[in-house]
Amino acid sequence: MEIDLDRLLRRVVDEVIGDEVNAIYSHDPKRPQTYRVELSTRDNGRRARLRATYEWFEVSIPDLGVDATLFEYDNNEADKERVLRELALVARAYLHGDGSIEYKRGVLGSRPVLTVTVNGRDWRLGRRVSQVHYPTTASPEAGEGA
């Protein structure tokens, strides 16, 4: 049975982020199997994006030009939901103003690195390299034991 990624994305965003931000859903006409949502806050103007395919999921922060991708190749909806939920928590943390932004110096100038804590683990999103965490089978955010 094929997983309805559009429905999954909408459900996870609704449960994790809710109606506290503007959400615009779409899909790429050139890649019809890619579903996305643009998220923006109403008060501080922060923006985040989630994208979902049948093999990978991405959170990106256009304000900083940073992103992170997680892969889930199994055709198990619960596993895909856990991965997408973890990325939605990263987006929510940024949208709420959580975490910190550092600027790392490089040969071509400085570049931002966003650090946020989700489920007790630090995520670092950069332009070239990101430190990500795959979810455990039970999410503490959902009130379940790990």
User: pLDDT per residue over 73-114, tens digit each?
Assistant: 989 999 999 999 999 999 999 999 999 999 988 787 888 999
- Give the model confidence (pLDDT) of 23-58 as tens digits: 999 987 888 889 999 999 988 889 999 999 999 999
Mean pLDDT of 102-127: 89
Answer yes or no: is 25 within a domain: yes
pLDDT of residue 137: 63
25 vs 133: which has the higher pLDDT: 25
Contact 16, 89 (CB under 8 A): yes
User: What is the per-residue pLDDT for 129?
Assistant: 76
Q: What is the pLDDT of residue 82?
A: 96
Q: Is residue 125 domain-resident?
A: yes
Domain count along the chain: 1
Residue 79 lies in a domain: yes
pLDDT of 108 reads 76
| Domain range enclosing 38 | 5-141
| DSSP for the chain, written as a single string | ----HHHHHHHHHHHHTTTSEEEEEEEETTEEEEEEEEEEESSS--EEEEEE-SSEEEEEETTTTEEEEEE--S--HHHHHHHHHHHHHHHHHHHTT-SEEEEEEETTEEEEEEEEEETTEEEEE-SS--B--PPPSS-GGGT---
- 66 domain-assigned: yes
Question: Which has the higher per-residue pLDDT, 16 or 126?
Answer: 16
Residue whose tokens read 């609704």:
14
What is residue 1's predicted lDDT score, i.e. its pLDDT?
63
Q: Give a yes or no: residue 146 inside a domain.
A: no
Q: Is the model more confident about 138 or about 33?
A: 33
